Amino acid sequence: MADEPQYLRPNVIIEPLVDRFYAWLHTVAPVQASMNLAYLQAPLLESYLQSPPVHVAATANPELRGGYFVGIPEERSEEVRELLNGIKRTGADMFAFAEAITKAEDMVRQGATGFDLTPLYQKLPAELAGLVEIAYDTNNQASLHFLEPLVYKSKAYIEDRQSVQLSIEPGVERPFILSTPRLPGPDVLDLHIPFRHPGLQELFGARLRPRRLSELREALELDDAQAAQLATLLTGEYGQAPDRHIEEGGRIRYFGHACLALQTPEATVLTDPFISADTNATDRYTYRDLPDHIDLVLITHGHQDHIVLETLMQLRGRVGTVVVPRSSRGNLCDPSLGLYLEHLGLPVLEVDEFDEIPFPGGRVVSTPFLGEHADLDIRSKSTYWIELGGKSVFVGADSSGVDPALYRYISSHLGTADLAFLGMECDGAPLTWLYQALLTRPVTKRMSDSRKLSGSDAAQAGEIVRELGAKEVYIYAMGEESWLGHVMATSYNDDSYQMQQIEKFMSWCKEHDVRAGHLLNQHEWRW
C-alpha cells in the first residue's frame, strides 16, 4: 500500500498512564505522586492481589461506583503482581521520598514549638535535603514548604514511569481512573514514551494536516508491529466539522461537563476541556467540532475532571496559552498546575486573582474561587470573567457561594454578567476520597464526611446570581454526561439532593425573571 498522507481518525483517544494508572495531577506532580504511590496505589494493588474476586465484584456494584477497587479479571492477576513488583523496584526512590515526608511532617509537629527552627534542618531525612523549607505562619504553626521546581529535578520525579495508550473510543464506559490500571491489550497501541514526547503533537496534528505513516512512525519511534497498529488509527477522510469556525458575531458551545468553547471570528477561548471522541454519538460536540486554533485554554482548578490530560494532550500545538491559577508554592496539598503542564510540553501562563489576559477582540480576568476543596489550603483555583463579542460571561466552575459578598466585589470591579455558568454538585465526595494519601495526620470519618468537595446549593447559587446581576444562568459541571463515567463515577436520580437543589434553584430563577437552564450533552448560544 502506498505511503499516502492520511489523517488521524477523529475518534482516536489517548490515555496517559503513570505506572499504568491513568495520569492526573496527584500521580504526576512528584511530591503528591510519591505520596499517592506509597499510600494509595501500591496498597490498592496489594489489596487486589489478596482477593481479586472481591475487587471485581465491587466494581460491578452500582452502589460502590467510584470506590477504590481494581476492576481487572482474576485471570490477569499475575500481570497485576508483575506490575506491583515493577512499581516497587523502579519507584524505590519515590517510596523513600514519601516516607521522608511523613517523618518530616511528624518531626515538625513535635519539634516546632515556637522557637528557632534552625536545629530542625539537621533532623530532616536525607531525601528532603535542599528540597524543603520549614516556616511558621502568623499563628505560630509550623509546616514544610516544598521547593517544587527542584523536586521535579530530584529522584522523586521519574519520567520513565510515563506511557500512553492509543485506541479507538469504545463508546462504553471505561474503568474508573483512580483505581484500575490499564494493562496491555490487543486493541490498544502501547507506547513507552513521556507525555511531552514531540511525536504525540505530530500525531494529533494529523487531525488537521495529513501525515504519512512513515513520518508518524519516525516521529513516535515505532517498531514494525507498532507501526502496523498505528495504521489502523489513520484514515484518508478529513474528519473536521465544517461549522467549527464562525464568520460573524459570537458563539458559545457547551461540550459537556465544564467545557465551554467561546468564539468570535477573531478568537476562541476554551474552558476546562474535557471532550468526547465518540463520533458515532449524535448528542454531543466532539473533537471534530473544535476550531483549528484555540487562543486560550482556561483551567479553573486541579481536580481530575477539570484538568484532563487525555484532552489537553490532543490539543498540544493548537493552543496559544493554557491559563492556570497560581498555587501557594510548596503546600503539600496544592501542587503547581503551571509546573505540571510545563513538564508535559504545554505553553502555560499562571495568574493571580484579577489578573487580566487580553486576546483578539476581548479579555479574560481571573476571579476568586471559594470553597469546594474540603477546606484545604489550596490556592490553585480560579473562576473567570470573559468578555468577547460584546458579552460578559462568568465561568464559575465548582466555586461556592458560601460568602456572597465576594461576588458583590467581583461585580463592582467588572460589571454585570450577561451569562453565568455555575456548578451545583452540592453534596460532593468527602475529604479522604481524593486527598487521603496526602494526609500525614489521620482524620476521623466524621471529620472527613463533614468536609466535602461541594459547590453551591440552591441558596448559594441564587446569591451568586443576585450579586452578579446575571441575566442568564446555566448549571453545568455536574458529571451527568455518559462519557464522563471513567473520571466522574457520579450517579444521580430524581431524588438525589443535588437534583432537588437544582430544581429549587430553577424555581428561584423563574421567580426572579432570570433565564436559566440545566445543561446536558450539548448546547449552543449565538448572537
Summarised one tens digit per residue, pLDDT across range 139-148 is 999 999 999 9
Other beta carbons within 10 angstroms of residue 445's beta carbon come to: 10
400 close to 372: Cβ distance less than 8 angstroms? yes
Do residues 243 and 229 touch, judged by C-beta distance below 8 A?
no
Query: Is pLDDT at 95 greater than 80 in this prediction?
Result: yes
Per-residue confidence (pLDDT) for residue 298, from 0 to 100: 98
Residue 477 has pLDDT above 60, yes or no: yes
Angle, to 10 degrees, between the axis of helix 77-90 and the axis of helix 92-111?
60
pLDDT average, residue stretch 429-455: 95
What's the DSSP call for residue 76? G
Of 321, 308, 305, nearest to 476 (Cα)? 305
Strand partners, 15: 165
Cell of 459: 441558596
Are 255 and 523 contacting, i.e. CB atoms less than 8 angstroms apart?
Answer: no
Q: What is the pLDDT of residues 291-305, one digit of tens each?
A: 999 999 999 999 999
Which pLDDT does position 446 carry in this prediction? Answer: 96
Q: At what angle do helices 497-511 and 458-468 cross, to 10 degrees?
A: 30
Report the alpha-carbon distance of residue 159 to residue 174 in Å, rounded: 25
- The fold adopted by the segment(s) 251-517 is Metallo-beta-lactamase; Chain A (3.60.15)
For the chain, residues classed under CATH 3.60.15.10 are 251-517
pLDDT at residue 2 in the model? 72
pLDDT at residue 305, rounded to an integer: 97
How do residues 492-521 score in pLDDT, each as one tens digit? 999 999 999 999 999 999 999 999 999 999
- Phi, psi of 24, deg, nearest 5: -150, 180
Q: Is the pLDDT of residue 1 over 90?
A: no
Per residue in 374-408, pLDDT (tens digit) is: 999 999 999 999 999 999 999 999 999 999 999 99
Residue 138: pLDDT band by 50, 70, 90 thresholds? very high
pTM: 0.97
**CB environment 87-113: b (16+ within 10 A), e (fewer):** beeebeebbbbbbbbebbbebbeeebe
pLDDT tens, 51-75? 999 999 999 999 999 999 999 999 9
The per-residue pLDDT for 367 is: 98
Is residue 94 predicted with pLDDT exceeding 90? yes
pLDDT at 192 over 90: yes
